[in-house]
């Protein structure tokens, strides 16, 4: 019996993506996660201190959809100084019935896209219906997909971007204005970015809060996706303690989410203060936003079920449109 594998380049992956479909895919994945319909070990990590990097291995199986994949993602902080992307990733889709690899695809942009889609799902479930302005912290690829996802989930009329790299922020604004037909302002500081924002997305590699608690107005929804280790954080402790906190996955958050673990170490926040997993809200098990005034915070460290759902969706489109290259194993 001949076994075939499809190889999808970054461009083939991009051609297979649709943000609205991906947002719905993320909702389904999170619901399965919260209903314990998945097999998903906590991701394994290999730190490479010598080169200021980390490589993560993220496998998962979604039993309800019968999908399986594993992702390898590397984040090396010195890469941009060498003209290389901060993040590299590769995803292998596996046939759950036989264990045969079905496809291998570039996962770098797909990681950013599915992360954006997760924030799109959280925005759809938690932000005020009339939310029309957004502030993006971090002008990298992740910031771009955050903005695209929020604009898919809500009718956004005003956007701000803030990045410590001023030129990078201006490039972001110029590029995304063309993509979204939306005027995007470059903020001179964090306060200016936040002061009128109904929705805030943080997509940085910061180890200190990227804005002040006093910068946040009541009724704001925050998507915090940049910090993915216990030592990293983007959100001030004061903001965490006065927010309705929703997470992607309890076990992963308690192992990796510095935005939550640091306030816990400070003794001002505890696990019982967490409101829900996003999948519980998507499934109607727990409520989402309950007032116009409350601040909602979606803290995501990224979980492997997102990659399985995203890669499975990409592979289906790629097979239908005959994208990529197929070869015999």
Contacts of 164 (CB under 8 A, 6+ apart): none
Angle of helix 19-34 relative to helix 304-321, nearest 10 degrees, comes to 140
Would you state the torsion angle of the CA atoms of residues 244, 288, 127, 20, taken in this order, to the nearest 10 degrees? 130
- Return the active site residues: 71
State the Cα–Cα distance between residues 96 and 124, nearest whole angstrom: 31
Contacts of 127 (CB under 8 A, 6+ apart): 153, 154, 198, 199, 221, 289, 296
Contacts of 263 (CB under 8 A, 6+ apart): 237, 240, 241, 269
Structure tokens at 122: 């959280």
DSSP E strand stretches across the chain? 4-8, 38-39, 44-48, 53-62, 67-76, 87-94, 101-106, 133-137, 158-162, 184-186, 199-202, 221-224, 243-247, 276-277, 295-299, 325-328
State the Cα–Cα distance between residues 127 and 125, nearest whole angstrom: 6
Name the DSSP letter for residue 132.
Answer: -
Contacts of 180 (CB under 8 A, 6+ apart): 147, 148, 151
- Burial grade of 147 (CB within 10 A; 0-12, 13-18, 19 or more): buried
The alpha-carbon radius of gyration of the chain (Å, integer) is: 19
Structure tokens at 254: 């308690």
The three-state (H, E, C) secondary structure of 274-293, written as one string: CCEEHHHHHCCCCCCCCCCC
């Amino acid at each position: 019996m001949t076994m075939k594998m499809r190889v999808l380049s970054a461009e083939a992956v991009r051609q297979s993506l649709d943000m609205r479909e991906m947002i719905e895919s993320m909702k389904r994945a999170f619901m399965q996660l919260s209903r314990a319909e998945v097999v998903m070990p906590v991701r394994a990590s290999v730190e490479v201190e010598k080169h200021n990097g980390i490589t993560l291995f993220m496998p998962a199986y979604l039993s309800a959809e019968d999908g399986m994949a594993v992702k390898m993602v590397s984040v090396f902080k010195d890469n941009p100084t060498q003209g290389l992307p901060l993040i590299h990733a590769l995803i292998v889709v596996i046939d759950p019935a036989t264990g045969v690899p079905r496809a291998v695809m570039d996962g770098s942009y797909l990681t950013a896209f599915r992360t954006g889609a997760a924030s799109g799902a959280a925005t759809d479930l938690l932000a005020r219906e009339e939310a029309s302005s957004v502030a993006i912290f971090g002008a990298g690829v992740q910031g771009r997909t955050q903005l695209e996802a929020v604009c898919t989930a809500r009718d956004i009329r005003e956007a701000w971007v803030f990045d410590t790299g001023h030129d990078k922020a201006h490039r972001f604004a110029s590029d995304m204005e063309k993509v979204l037909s939306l005027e995007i302002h470059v903020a001179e500081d964090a306060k200016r970015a936040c002061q009128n924002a109904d929705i805030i997305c943080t997509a940085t590699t910061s180890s200190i809060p990227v804005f002040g608690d006093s910068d946040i107005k009541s009724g704001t929804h925050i998507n915090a996706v940049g910090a993915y280790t216990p030592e990293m954080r983007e959100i001030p402790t004061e903001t965490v303690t006065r927010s309705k906190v929703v997470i992607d996955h309890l076990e992963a958050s308690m192992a990796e989410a510095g935005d939550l673990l640091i306030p816990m170490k400070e003794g001002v926040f505890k696990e019982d203060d967490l409101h829900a997993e996003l999948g519980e809200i998507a499934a109607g098990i727990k409520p989402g936003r309950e007032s116009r005034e409350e601040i909602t915070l979606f803290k995501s460290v990224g979980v492997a079920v997102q990659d399985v759902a995203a890669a499975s969706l990409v592979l289906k489109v790629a097979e239908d449109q005959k994208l990529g290259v197929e070869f015999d194993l």
